[in-house]
Each structure stands twice: as C-alpha cells, then as structure tokens.
Amino acid sequence: MSTATSENPRTAKLAVSGMTCASCVARVEKVLARVPGVERVAVNLATEKATVHASAAVTDDQLVAAVAKAGYEATPILPEAPPAAASAPPRFDRELATVFASALLTLPLLAPMFGLALNPWLQLSLASVVQFGFGARFYVGGYRAVRTFAGNMDLLVALGTSAAWSLSVWQMLAHGDMTEHLFFEASAVVITLVRFGKWLEARARRQTTDAIRALNALRPTTARMRDRNDPSREREVALADVRIGDIVVVRPGERVPVDGIVREGRTHVDESLITGESLPVTKQTGARTTGGSINGEGVIAIETTAIGAETTLARIIRLVESAQAEKAPIQRLVDRVSAVFVPAILAIVAVTLATWFWHGADAETALLNAVAVLVIACPCALGLATPTAIMAGTGVAARQGILIKDAQALEQAHAVEIVAFDKTGTLTVGRPGLVAFDAAPGQDRAQALGLAAAVQRLSEHPLAKAVLAAAQDAPRFEARTARAVAGRGVEASVNGQRIAIGSGRWLAELQAEVPPSLATRARDLEAQGNTVSWLIEETNGRNAVLALLGFGDTVKPTARATVERLARMGMKSALVTGDNAGSTQAVARAVGIPVDLVFAQTLPDDKARVVAQLKASTKGVVAMAGDGINDAPALAAADIGIAMGSGTDVAMEAAGLTLMRGDPALVADAIDISRRTYRKIRQNLFWAFVYNLIGIPLAAFGMLDPMFAGAAMAFSSVSVVTNALLLRTWCAQAGAVEDARAGKPITRPA
C-alpha cells in the first residue's frame, strides 16, 4: 500500500468487488467521498473500478478500509500493473458451471406445472440447495447492505426468493401432499435466471473492454538492443531495461517496442491499431516510430525517445481508461434515482401486501405478488446503462484513432453546432507544395517543369522538394555547377544553358521580361497568400521567363468532403487562423466554408476571443480543431477542443478529443461516434426505466408471476449491455470522404 507524503493531489484507482447494481455504486461512492481529503469519486459498475481524486495525504489503506466498511472488497490498482481488462475474468467458467448446475436442480421443480407429481420433500431438498447454495451470494450481498443501512439488488433477490421458499415450506407443512400449493419452483427459477443473467451480463461487459485489451496486447515485453559499450553486439533485454537514447533493432514482422526515431534502415510500418490508418506507413531515417506498431519488410534501428508511461501507447491507454472511468453528466439522473430506489421498492412491496390482504386475498397470493415486485425491481440495468455505452463508444473510437479524454467531452460532442478549424496543419498539409506551374506562351510545360526539377534536384530546401514532387512524370535533365544565390534563388547549367529559379527581386535584377498573362497570374497568386518564383533561361546574353511557379500550402484531400459531411449532419464550419486574408480566403473557398465564418490574421488570444464569439452566437456546442501551440487557448476556450494527432503535446493536453491522424475526416467521425453513443445512453436509460415502470405495476396487480419477473429482470440487464455493444459495429460513413482518401486529385485553392 502506498502512503503519500507530499500535498500534491493524486488519483487512486481501486478494483471493487461485490457490486451488483446502481445502488451499490452509489453506496461505494458515498463512503469514499466521506474520507477526509477526497475531492471527487467516480465508480464504474461495468469495469468494477473506483477512481478517487484526493490529496496526497489520503492513503490506499484509508480508501480500502472505507470500501470494506460499506460491505465491499477493494484492491488498489498500481500504476505499473496491467489493467484488469487485459486478462479474462478468473471466475468466468466457474460461474457458467454454477448456472448450469443450478438449472439442472431447478428443472425437476417445474414438473408440477405440467401435471406431474413430485414428492414435496424432494422439492424441498432441491429448492433448498438452489436457495442456500447457489443463492448464497445474494444473502451475503444483502447482509452487507443491511449492515450499512443500505439496499441493493442482492437484498431484493434474497428477500423475494426467501419469501417464496418460506411460503412453500409453510404450505407443505400445512397441506401435506397437496403439492399444487407449493411454489418452490418460483424461488429456484428466479435464482437460476438471475445468475444466468449476471453471467450473460459479465460476458457482454467483457466485450466492451476489447479496445483496452487490444491496446495492452500491443505492449512487447522484450526488445533487441545494441550494447551500449559495443554497438556491434545485440542482446535481447526486458523492455523495462531499455533507456532513452538506447538503440533498438527491429526485424521484419516484429512489433516495434519503443517510441523513437529511425537512425538506420527503411521499411513500412503497420500503425492501424494505434492511429486507425489502414495502410502501412513508410519509415526511413529521421522518421518517428510508435511502440506497438508492426514492422514490415525491412530491418530498422531506432533511437529510443520515450519509455514506460511516457510512450504514445501508454498515453493512449490512460486516455481511454480515463474516459471509461469517469461519469457522463447524464449519469446524475441515475444517481438520484438509485439513492431512493431500494427504499421506494420496499415501500411498494409493503403497500402491495397490505392492499391484497385488504381486498381479501389469501397469504400466498399476496406474498407471491410482493415477491414478483421485489424480483423485477432490481436496478441492475440502471447501473449499466451509461457506463457500458461509454465503454463501447470510447473503445470503437480508439480503434479508429480517436481518443476521448473524458465522458463529458463524449456527451457534449453530440450537440456540436459549429466546428471551428485552424488552417495550417489542420485543413492544409502544413508544408509548401507547388500549387501553380504556368509555362510562358510558346513554352512546353512538361519541358519547363523538367528544367526546374533539374535545378532543384540537389537542394534540400522545402520549396525544392515541392518542385521535385510535382515533376515526377516530367522529362529528366541533369544539372551541373548548381549554386545558390543568397536572398535570390538558385542557378545551374542544364544542357549548356544557364537556368535559374528565383524571386521577383532577382527577376527584376536580371531584367527578364515577364509575359502579361504570367504577370496577371502572379498578382492573383500573391493576393491569395502564395509565394511566386520564376524559371528563367539565359539565351544569347538575354534572360527570358520560361515559367511561373506558385508555392502554397495544399489543402488536405479530405478537407472539403469533411466540411460537406458536417453540413449534412447539421453543423456549420468556421475557419480561424493567423495567416493572411488572401491565403485564408483561398482555403475557405477550396473547402466550402462561407465568408462570414472566416477569421484571418488572428493571434492566439484572438482565436480564443473568436471562439467565445461563436459560442455566444449559438445555443449549441462549439468545437475547435487545431494542432499547434498557438491553438491551445482556443482549444481550451471551446466547449470541446479537438487536437490533431500530428500536432503538439500542448494542443493535445488542452483538448477533450485527440485525433491520432492529421485527417480532418476524423473530426466528423468523432462527432458521429459521440452522437451514436449518446443515443445509446438514452435508449438504455429509457429501457431500464420502462422495465420498472411497466413491470412493477404488473407485479403489484398480480399480473406477473415471480418466475417471469426474474426472467424479465435478467433480460433487462442483458438487453442494455447488448444494445451498447451494437456501437462496436460502427464504421465511418463513406461517400465523398472515402473517395478523397482513395487519392482523387487535389484541386489547387483558387
């Protein structure tokens, strides 16, 4: 057990066993909140975990003792310990065997219902084994609840089945062989069905943690490391022994063990389980790698940059676990109902008994109707409605490369009405591209592009790379004696001719004549915020313009389709950037954002102010998507911040949602997942309440047999969890977004 010494706040996590319903959750939260120094508590029935935010003076021993006082068992979850979801529940098969054995003993008790005689003493023997053997857990749980002056599902089941069993024993002793007056089957069937329902529930709940299990499965346990003293030697070591700066070698087909930078080799890496990107990603010298991804065909040497809890995979797991542990705001309704649920049910049971007796019913009729009320009223479904949907939603989001920081962000995202986008790195690629290449009248465009590529081939300048990327299909020429001219451009000898690429300033110094059509085109491009360069050839002592080159940031392939999809979903898109008005308006036109929602030349503080204005202009939720340090104030100011995974840690820290790929299509995907998850939460709560609103009156009025009540109660929990699991079938809505991902040509922003 840990004992903190500093006064810094801490977050403790406990594995809590013995909880069966929403009332149990409320009780555990209540006792933990009473511990001095505890600030906030969230208990999740689906994961059977408690997350406690407290001062550092609060020890694990105090928290465990508080849970034990409430009648439950708790075990601290150490930070280095793997999540419980990573392994199969230890009692899973034993529980199924218990249900099967209980069913075998219960089946003979149904014989009298079909007109078959069964010895009363045999019925008593079979029913007693089921009641006090397989039903012992309900007595234990019910005792703990009573001891702490609380109520839970176990108490209701124990009271209901005990009443049916006791009534049968009394009838057997009073009527002898009159077996038609015995109701042993009611108590036995209810216990069997409830235990079967809990087994199905546990089985379904386990599927909601598939995302965490899949992420934990990505963690390698060993790494092949180069010896620190003799780099020619390699040895396999435990991953915990790897340190920052160590060189790790990864062979084809192996899982990358660390976050790092490729220092040797070239390969393709499958990062699909981390980023959601289905295609392998090229990795060469200087590229960053993420631990947990799978190496393709090449051998690579990686310099370690992050280990342990600081790796990308560890941070992803923490984010997903955090979102699944926290409560959504809508859960407050369930908490209020749970606080009074069991006392209210016991009051209804008392009224049911009294009313039936008042109207002259015999004891067995009144008692059986009261038992039916007790059995059907178990609040299991209420406790599972919200957490199972959140777990399924955050899990499917994580598999698609969408990390949800907390349940509040997930719930709020369904109400987004305006999405404000940053420009550079969010809607655009974030690096210069050749957006225009116009040959002078009388010049062959392909020939001119080949000459430009020849001049730039030996340069490492970003603009040179943009030219080479655009000239892959152009004729190839070899340049000689290339040299850079400071502040002006670069020149080289190509096929004996002097060819230069330079700025407008150098163009003027060289006194090269610019064709009128290219001069007009240059003004248009510069008005849009692009950089214009010129391809110049010296012939017979005179300089002539061969072509105009326009450089600008290119719009991402999925940007326009994303804005259109958001519009179909009923949302507006805005553009908020610090870039100049010309380039901002060009990008806005390219992606389809209206002029009145374009905000250019905004400083970081101004971005936050613009977001505040957007929030004031709508009754809905405003989301901000960005990737840079300068976006952090706006991400924090928005109702929901969405950080692009290609961006900075500062932006990711300020955001409620993090996209592991810099693909704007994930913004629409994230909101769609949120909407579907919130819809599942409401559906689950509706069904959980409806089961009780319909079932309790039916039972009270004698229209529901205790056995059917038990079946309905078990089915309510299973149906809620199964409905939540339907979220796992979610996939991105295709259409234009998928067309863009498939590689359709990018039109230049004009």
What does DSSP assign to residue 20?
-
Radius of gyration for the chain, computed over Cα atoms and rounded to the nearest angstrom: 34
- Judge whether 688 and 382 are in contact, CB under 8 Å: yes
Distance CA 289, CA 312 (A): 10
Q: How crowded is residue 524: how many other Cβ atoms within 10 Å of its Cβ? A: 15
- Judge whether 263 and 303 are in contact, CB under 8 Å: yes
Q: Specify the 3-state DSSP secondary structure of 676.
A: helix
Distance CA 577, CA 584 (A): 7
Distance CA 492, CA 482 (A): 4
- Judge whether 294 and 278 are in contact, CB under 8 Å: no
Vertex 661: Cα angle to 660 and 663 (nearest 5)? 135
Query: Sign of torsion, CA 561 564 568 572?
Result: positive
Q: How far apart are the two ends of the chain, measured CA to CA in Å? A: 64
Which residue spans within 30-155 are E strands per DSSP? 38-44, 49-54, 73-76
Q: Specify the 3-state DSSP secondary structure of 627.
A: coil
- For the chain, how long is the longest CA-to-CA vector? 126
Our separate counts of H helices and E strands in the chain read 26, 26
Who's near 386: CB < 8 A, 6+ residues apart? 327, 328, 330, 331, 334, 681, 684, 685
Vertex 76: Cα angle to 74 and 80 (nearest 5)? 150
- Judge whether 241 counts as a catalytic residue: no
Who's near 135: CB < 8 A, 6+ residues apart? 157, 158, 161, 187, 191
521: region left, alpha or beta (phi > 0 left; psi from -120 to 50 alpha): alpha
Tell me the pairing of strands 489-494 and 259-264. unpaired
244 class by beta-carbon count within 10 Å (0-12 exposed, 13-18 middle, 19+ buried):
middle
Both tokens of residue 686?
């509706």
Tell me the pairing of strands 598-599 and 572-576. parallel
Who's near 170: CB < 8 A, 6+ residues apart? none
190: part of which helix (H) or strand (E)? helix 184-208
- Name the active-site residue from 246, 406, 422, 705: 422
What does DSSP assign to residue 638?
S
532: part of which helix (H) or strand (E)? strand 531-539
H-state helical runs in 535-603: 559-568, 581-591
Give the residue numbers marked as catalytic: 422
